[in-house]
């Protein structure tokens, strides 16, 4: 019987099972952790389906695997209580309402404690996702640590390669807060105490991917803003760290100072095998878990499970940045097929020339991973790539509407970034119509005409 906690993975599963039962798929037949769970979700993706999947019978393990919890925009929108079209706006607004956390006496994960020589990460049902991967990877592990200088904590995704009973390879390749915390600890000659938390609510993952926020704010306070209530945390047994009280599994340990080992390759969100890594090492000292724990895994590669939340968070963050100076910006879309990162499409009500270029430069400077920004008018459907391409084909004058910014910092796992400096040339495309009088008028069909057309077709027994 599930213990219902609205902030937990179990609370999310209950929400889906009661409100969207057709979006929860329980697979009772035996599956292997080697390639099979990933392949199954990609087959669903190819069929245009994205249910939450629970593999109940995992060969060699008693613990079920839960996956694909973040691959469905409708389910993620329902967590925020909004329609899918409004999710970026809702995320944008709530991620700015930081709510102090609530510390509870004990986490749900404190029922089973394994430590010392008994720690054995190989007993967890960690999937080996692609044949190119160097080993099985923990992909849903949220790594939590404190800044050794300020004491402010953070939480975020970092890929975790199984290297032994108590050892994981970890890449801090985003080179943001966790990378800086580890660097500061190394300067003090110390390893960085850290906890890996597995099995959280999707809103936790969404909040953990906010990057532009004040340095004195905890990411857990941002996650609380998404829930609309204090996020419940409990102290674990390493570095005075606090972690989500409703999580399934907590692995306590440290990221070693001044020690590196090969990590990767790994099937990344780019759709390529990534060999680039910071090659850090995490040593596990203790595992705590629920007695009936689920193992949560994010499907790697270009799956929606891996990418969709980053699409939504980037849409919200870019929208946040643009609305501060350009209120006539209407919406932002980061398409899944551009790896949930590399391209943003921005619509605006263009008032004067130069505004689209101002917006594209701001967007390019907001998000590390975003390389290409396409500006369109509000008559273009940013969720329809055919409409966007029509705007590029008919409204862009390349000699004046395309700008390039060379030598901009990018992600080290971007295969087009410089292998030494990790920089790229970013590009903006202004696909808005000129404001000058006499520019071509777009053909349109009114909503009334469309409704009438549908009734005509339906009367002819043609189902749309």
Helix, strand, coil content of the chain in percent (nearest 5)? 30, 25, 45
Q: Mean per-residue pLDDT for 238-265?
A: 95
What is the predicted pLDDT for the residue at 3? 45
pLDDT at 373 over 70: yes
Percent of the chain with pLDDT over 90: 78
- Overall residue count recorded for the chain in this entry: 464
Q: DSSP string spanning 305-374?
A: HHHHHHHHHHHHHHHHHHHTT-TTEEEEE--GGGTTTSEEEEEE---STTHHHHHHHHHHHH-TT--EEE
pLDDT at 101 over 50: yes
Q: Which of 258-262, 301-305, 347-351 comes out lowest in average pLDDT?
A: 301-305
Separation of alpha carbons 38 and 275, rounded Å: 20
Q: Cα–Cα distances in Å, from 282 out to 178, 247, 398? A: 13, 20, 49
pLDDT band at 1 (very low <50, low <70, confident <90, very high): very low
What is the predicted pLDDT for the residue at 2? 40
Q: Cα–Cα distances in Å, from 155 out to 110, 183, 428? A: 20, 16, 32
Q: Mean per-residue pLDDT for 280-306?
A: 95
What is the predicted pLDDT for the residue at 286? 97
Q: What does the DSSP 8-state code read for residue 137?
A: E
Separation of alpha carbons 383 and 360, rounded Å: 18
Q: Mean per-residue pLDDT for 89-94?
A: 90
- pLDDT averaged over the chain? 93
Q: Mean per-residue pLDDT for 289-300?
A: 96
Name beta bridge partners: 405. Answer: 426
Q: Under CATH, what is the fold of the domain 325-430?
A: UbiD C-terminal domain-like (3.40.1670)
What is the predicted pLDDT for the residue at 175? 76
Name beta bridge partners: 296. Answer: 66
Q: Mean per-residue pLDDT for 319-336?
A: 91
What are the residues whose beta carbons fall under 8 Å from the beta carbon of 350, sequence distance 6 or more? 328, 356, 377, 432, 433, 435
From 425, 377, 379, 369, select the one nearest 402 (Cα to Cα): 425
Task: Using only the alpha carbons of the chain, give its radius of gyration.
Answer: 23
325-430 shares the fold of 9-299 = no
More confident: 145 or 301: 145
Q: Which helix (H) or strand (E) holds 142?
A: strand 142-146
Domain residue spans of the chain = 9-299, 325-430
Spatial contact of 250 and 287, defined as CB atoms under 8 Å apart: yes
Q: Cα–Cα distances in Å, from 265 out to 135, 171, 176, 269? A: 9, 11, 21, 13
CA angle 450/451/453 to nearest 5° reads 65
Separation of alpha carbons 47 and 34, rounded Å: 22
Spatial contact of 357 and 370, defined as CB atoms under 8 Å apart: no
Q: In the CATH hierarchy, which top-level class contains the domain 9-299? A: mainly beta
Instruction: Tally Cβ neighbours within 10 Å of residue 57.
Output: 13
> What's the token pair of residue 198?
């597995």
pLDDT at 112 over 80: yes
What is the predicted pLDDT for the residue at 340? 83
């Amino acid at each position: 019987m599930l213990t219902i906690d609205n902030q937990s993975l179990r609370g999310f599963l209950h929400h889906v099972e009661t409100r969207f039962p057709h979006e929860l798929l329980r697979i009772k037949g035996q599956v292997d952790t080697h390639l099979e769970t990933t392949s199954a979700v990609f087959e669903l993706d190819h069929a245009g389906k994205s249910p939450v999947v629970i593999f109940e019978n995992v060969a060699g393990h008693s613990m079920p695997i839960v996956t694909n919890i973040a691959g469905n925009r409708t389910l993620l929108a329902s967590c925020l209580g909004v329609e899918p079209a409004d999710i970026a706006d809702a995320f944008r607004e709530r991620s700015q309402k930081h709510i102090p956390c609530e510390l509870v006496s004990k986490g749900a994960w404190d029922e089973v404690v394994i430590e010392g020589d008994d720690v054995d990460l190989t007993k967890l049902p960690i999937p080996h996702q692609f044949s190119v991967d160097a080993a099985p990877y923990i992909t849903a592990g949220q790594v939590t640590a404190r800044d050794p200088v300020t004491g402010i904590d953070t939480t975020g995704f970092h890929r975790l390669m199984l290297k032994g009973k108590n050892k994981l390879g970890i890449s801090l390749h985003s080179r943001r807060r966790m990378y800086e915390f580890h660097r500061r600890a190394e300067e003090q000659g110390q390893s960085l105490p850290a906890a890996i938390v597995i099995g959280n609510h999707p809103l936790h993952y969404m909040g953990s991917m906010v990057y532009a926020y004040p340095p004195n704010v905890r990411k857990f306070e941002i996650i609380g803003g998404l829930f609309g209530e204090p996020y419940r945390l409990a102290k674990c047994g390493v570095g005075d760290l606090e972690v989500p009280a409703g999580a399934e599994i907590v692995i306590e340990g440290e990221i070693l100072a001044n020690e590196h080992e090969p990590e990767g390759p790994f099937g990344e969100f780019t759709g390529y095998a990534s060999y680039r890594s910071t090659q850090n090492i995490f040593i596990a000292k203790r595992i705590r878990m629920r007695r009936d724990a689920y193992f949560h895994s994010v499907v790697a590669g270009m799956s929606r499970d891996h990418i969709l939340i980053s699409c939504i968070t980037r849409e919200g963050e870019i929208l946040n940045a643009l609305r501060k100076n350009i209120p006539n910006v209407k919406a932002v879309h980061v398409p899944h097929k551009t790896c949930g990162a590399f391209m943003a499409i921005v619509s605006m009500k263009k008032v004067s020339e130069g505004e689209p270029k101002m917006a594209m430069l701001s967007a390019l400077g907001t998000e590390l991973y975003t390389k290409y920004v396409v500006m369109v008018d509000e008559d273009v459907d940013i969720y329809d790539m055919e409409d966007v391409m029509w705007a590029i084909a008919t409204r862009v004058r390349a000699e004046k509407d395309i700008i390039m910014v060379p030598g901009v910092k990018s992600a080290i796992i971007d295969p087009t970034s410089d292998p030494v400096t990790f920089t790229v040339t970013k590009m903006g495309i202004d696909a808005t119509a000129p404001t000058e009088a006499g520019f071509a008028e777009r053909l349109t069909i009114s909503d009334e005409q469309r409704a009438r057309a549908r009734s005509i077709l339906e009367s002819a027994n043609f189902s749309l």
